[in-house]
Amino acid sequence: MTTPLLLAAPLLAGALITGVAAPAFADGSPSPTPSRTAASLSGLQAAGAADTSKRITSLTAAITRITAAKGLTDADRTTILDTLNADLTGMRSLASKIAADTTVAQARADVRSIFTQYRVYAVALPQARIAVEADRLSGTTIPRLQAAASKLASRVSASGNSGAQAELADLTTQLSTAQADVNGLSAAALAVTPSDDDADHSAMTALRDKAKAALAAVKQAAQDAKGIRQSLKK
């Protein structure tokens, strides 16, 4: 008899994989250097209004999703919301400041600060996404698949089915890989600061790669569980 968990596991993993590109955390490309896009005061103010508005919209949507996100630890939720709200306040303040600037030099400096003092798309939103994924994997998805693997192990052993045995071995390996990838991942992601990104633009890339690798391993583990179930029916 197929357990609800085994049926749900592939769907759960698939949903998490899809969540990598969730619109609320979409990584938009930052605008070019302000000095290259506008030379006049009005041009700089228009560029600043567009750049701050885009970030305000993204941050507002992210705050709503993080507030309601399931599987996120309370500590990580607090840390993420503190960062997102601080950036939101900063963007609103900059929007007002840029609009009130009276010289090209002032406007250029203020517009540039959107990119030098904040890393909304390069750090804040990606680290929120990674933390959500890592917490869900470590707190919910991996434990459920581990429980499923334990239940399947006795059935596989009793069946003597070599195909199921191979799939169970791979299931175990994939879960170990996923667990190793998510260990400390949320903390590492949330520890990255704008200055860290300024010093090393690959700071977030390695963390995103680990999150993707963990998600891929979980997806394969769920497929293995499904394959075992099918093999035991034969």
pLDDT tens, the chain, 234 aa long: 333 333 334 334 443 333 333 333 333 444 444 444 568 999 999 999 999 999 999 999 999 999 999 999 999 999 999 999 999 999 999 999 999 999 999 999 999 999 889 999 999 999 999 999 999 999 999 999 999 999 999 999 888 889 999 999 999 999 999 999 999 999 999 999 988 988 888 889 999 999 999 999 999 999 999 999 998 886
Question: Are 161 and 52 spatial neighbours (Cβ–Cβ below 8 Å)?
Answer: no
3-state helix, strand, coil in the chain (%, to 5): 85, 0, 15
Distance CA 113, CA 57 (A): 18
**E strand spans, the chain:** none
pLDDT of 39 reads: 81
d(CA 194, CA 119): 6
pLDDT of residue 44: 96
- What pLDDT is stored for residue 22 in this prediction? 36
Overall domain count for the chain = 1
Question: Which residues, at least 6 apart from 201, have a Cβ–Cβ distance to it below 8 Å?
Answer: 122
Q: Which amino acid would we find at residue 101? A: D
- C-alpha–C-alpha distance, residues 128 and 63, integer Å: 10
Question: Nearest 5°: CA angle at 41, between 108 and 109?
Answer: 10
Contact between residue 10 and residue 222 where contact means Cβ atoms under 8 Å apart:
yes
pTM of the entire predicted model: 0.80
Position 36 scores a pLDDT of: 43
**Separation CA 151–CA 30 (nearest Å):** 49
First to last CA, the chain: 13
| Amino acid in position 82 | D
Range of the domain at 216: 4-233
Task: Specify whether the CB–CB gap between 170 and 31 falls below 8 A.
Answer: no
